[in-house]
A = this chain, B = another copy of it.
Amino acid sequence: MVLADAGDVAGSSLPGAHTLSALGEDAVLARILPRLRPAVAALIGPGDDGAVVAASGGRFVVSTDTMVHGPDFRLAWHTPRELGWKAAATNLTDIAAMGARPTAMTVAITAPSDTDVVVLEGIAEGIQECLDALAPGAGVVGGDLTSSPVLTIAVTVFGDLAGEPVRRSGARVGDIVAHAGLLGAAARGLALLFDGARDASGEPDIALACALRARHPDLIAAQLAPRPPVLAGVAAALAGATAMIDVSDGLARDARRVAVASGVAVDFASDALGPDVNLALAGAEDHGLLAAFPPDARLPDSFRPIGRVVPGVGHVLLDGVIVDSVGWDPYLNWDGRAG
Contact = CB atoms under 8 A, between A and B. Distances in A.
Interface in A98-129: 98, 100, 104, 106-108, 110, 113
Contact of A95 (B50, B59, B159): B50
Contacts of A146: 66-68, 71-72, 152, 330
A91 to B, nearest CB: 10
Interface string A143-186: 11111111010101011010001011100000000000000000
Interface string A15-32: 000001101111010000
Interface stretch (A41-49, A198-206, A265-273): A41-49
Given A50-B94, A149-B70, A334 B62 contact: no
Given A55-B58, A106-B156, A331-B113, A144 B48 contact: no
A56 interface: yes
Given A21-B331, A71-B146, A58 B56 contact: yes
A64 interface: yes
Contact of A98 (B49, B98, B144, B159): B49
Contact of A23 (B48, B62, B331): B331
A148 B68 contact: yes
Nearest to A167: B48
Nearest to A332: B24
A51 to B, nearest CB: 5
A79 to B, nearest CB: 21
29 contacts: A23-B331, A25-B330, A25-B331, A26-B329, A28-B331, A44-B165, A44-B167, A47-B261, A48-B98, A49-B94, A49-B168, A49-B245, A50-B159, A50-B165, A51-B62, A52-B59, A54-B59, A55-B58, A55-B59, A62-B142, A62-B156, A62-B158, A66-B108, A66-B144, A66-B146, A67-B146, A106-B156, A110-B150, A113-B334
Interface of A: 20-21, 23-26, 28, 43-44, 47-68, 70-72, 93-95, 97-98, 100, 104, 106-108, 110, 113, 141-150, 152, 154, 156, 158-159, 161, 165, 167-169, 244-246, 261, 329-332, 334, 338
Given A50-B95, A63-B142, 4 more contacts: A24-B329, A64-B144, A64-B154, A70-B149
Q: Can you list the 9 inter-chain pairs with the closest CB atoms, starting with the nearest?
A: A55-B55, A50-B63, A49-B97, A154-B154, A156-B156, A68-B148, A64-B106, A49-B94, A50-B61
